[in-house]
Amino acid sequence: MTTPIVGLHHVTAIASDPQANVEFYTTVLGLRLVKRTVNFDAPDTYHLYYGDEVGHPGTILTFFPWPGAPKGRRGTGQVTVTAFSIPENAVGYWRDRLTRLGVAVDGPARRFEEEVLTLHDPDDLHLELVAHDAAQSNEPWRDGPVPAAQAIRGFHGVTICAAGYERTAKLLTETMGLGAAGTHHDRFRFVAGEGLWSGSVLDIVCRPGQRRGSVAVGTVHHIAFRVPGDRQQLEWRDKLVAADLDVTPPIDRQYFHSIYYREPGGVLFELATDPPGFTADEPVDELGTHLKLPSWLESSRRQLEAILPPIQVATRGA
C-alpha cells in the first residue's frame, strides 16, 4: 500500500523582478527567503524559495523570476489561487497590515466556515490568507517581521480552475487518496490526510465558460505534493503509471527529488520528497543568504553571478 499524501510540498510560480518579489514575500508577508539558487533547467534566472524558518514541506512558495517576460493569464487548466494559513484571530491584523503597506485587500469573506482575505502580489499572483482553527497546529517563523501570534503558518491549500472537474476529482480521490470534503457553489473541496497538515486543501472551481489560462508572469507553474522519501516516490510512480498517466523518472532538485505528471485538466503536478531539505548545503542561520549552486553548475558560478541581478533582503520587516 502506498504511503498516503498528507498535503502540499511546495507551489512554484513565475515572477518578473526578483527584488520586488523578495521585498513583498519577506517584508510584507513575513516569509523567510530560505534558498537563493537558480532554475536548474534555465540557470540564467533565479529560483527563489520562501517558507518558515527552515522551509518545511507545506510552507514553501518558490519563484522563477524572469525580468521582461510576458504576463500570464489566469483561467482553466491552472492553479489560480495560492492560499496561506493564518490563525483565526489574525484577520484584523492582516487587513490593517496590508492596507498600511499599500497592498489592496478584499474581505474577509466567509467560505467553508473560514474567513478569507484576498490579495495580489506585485505580479498580480492571486493569493489568499485563510483563517481557520487548524492553523494553530502549525508553527510560525518566530524570528520574522510579523509577530508570531499573527504570522503565516504555511499553506492552507490551492485552487484549481477547471472547465470540468470530474476527471480531476477521480484522480485526486481514487488514485491520490484525497477525500471529498464538501461543495460551496461551484467550488469542490478535497483534503489530504486529516486536513491538519500545512497545505492539505485542494479546491476545484468549475468554470466551463472561462477562457483557458496561459502560464507566464503572475501565474502558478506547478504544485508539488509530499512523499516521505525515494522509496515511497517510486511506489507512487508505479501507481500513477498504472492509472495511465505519463510520469517522469525521478529528477534531483538538490533539496528534494521530484517526479512530474499532468492531471486531466492540464495542471502540472509533482511529487517531491521531504529530504534532503534546505539545510543540506547551508546552516539554518545562513539560509537564503548565499547563491547556492548544484555541483554541476559550480564551474559556471562566475558567469551566472555576472548575469543574475543583485537582490537584497531587509533585515527587519515593516
* 157 is a domain residue: yes
Distance spanning both ends of the chain, measured CA to CA: 48
pLDDT digits 0-9 by tens, 290-315? 999 999 999 999 999 999 999 999 86
* 67 is a domain residue: yes
* 317 is a domain residue: no
Rounded CA gap, 117 and 220, in Å? 19
Q: Look-up: residue for cell 489592496?
A: 104
Residue range of the domain that includes 264? 8-307
Measured from the Cβ of residue 95, the count of other Cβ atoms closer than 10 Å reads: 17
Beta strands 32-39; 42-51: pairing state: antiparallel
Instruction: Tell me how far apart the 2 most distant CA atoms of the chain are, in Å.
Output: 54
pLDDT digits 0-9 by tens, 50-89? 999 999 999 999 999 999 999 999 999 999 999 999 999 9
- Contact between 117 and 29 under an 8 Å Cβ cutoff? The reply is no
pLDDT of residue 33: 98
pLDDT of residue 137: 76
pLDDT of residue 134: 78
Count Cα atoms within 13 angstroms, Cβ side, for 139: 9
* 166 is a domain residue: yes
pLDDT of residue 198: 78
Reduce the DSSP state of residue 312 to 3 states and report it. coil
Exposure string of 273-300, with b = 16+ CB inside 10 Å and e = fewer, is: bbeeebeebbeeeebbeeebbeeeeeee
Beta strands per DSSP E along the chain: 8-15, 32-39, 42-51, 60-65, 78-86, 105-111, 114-120, 126-131, 155-162, 179-184, 187-191, 201-206, 220-227, 251-252, 257-262, 268-273
Q: 187 to each of 165, 183, 206, 251, how far by Cα in Å?
A: 10, 5, 7, 33
pLDDT of residue 1: 77
Phi-psi region of 286 (alpha: psi -120 to 50; beta: other; left: phi over 0): alpha
Q: Collect contacts of 240-244 with beta carbons under 8 A, ≥24 apart.
A: 240/175, 243/171, 243/175
pLDDT under 70: residue ranges of the chain: 195-196, 315-318
pLDDT of residue 315: 65
* Domain count along the chain: 1
What residues contact residue 218 under an 8 Å CB cut-off, 6+ apart? 13, 14, 15, 16, 71, 72, 74, 121, 123, 124, 125
pTM beyond cutoff 0.75:
yes
pLDDT of residue 245: 97
Rounded CA gap, 63 and 222, in Å? 10
* 207 is a domain residue: yes
307 is written with which cell numbers?
548575469
CATH code of residue 22: 3.10.180.10
Measured from the Cβ of residue 102, the count of other Cβ atoms closer than 10 Å reads: 8
Question: Please, which residues bridge with residue 205 across strands?
Answer: 161, 187
* 292 is a domain residue: yes
* 312 is a domain residue: no
For 209, which DSSP code?
T
Rounded CA gap, 260 and 165, in Å? 20
* 276 is a domain residue: yes
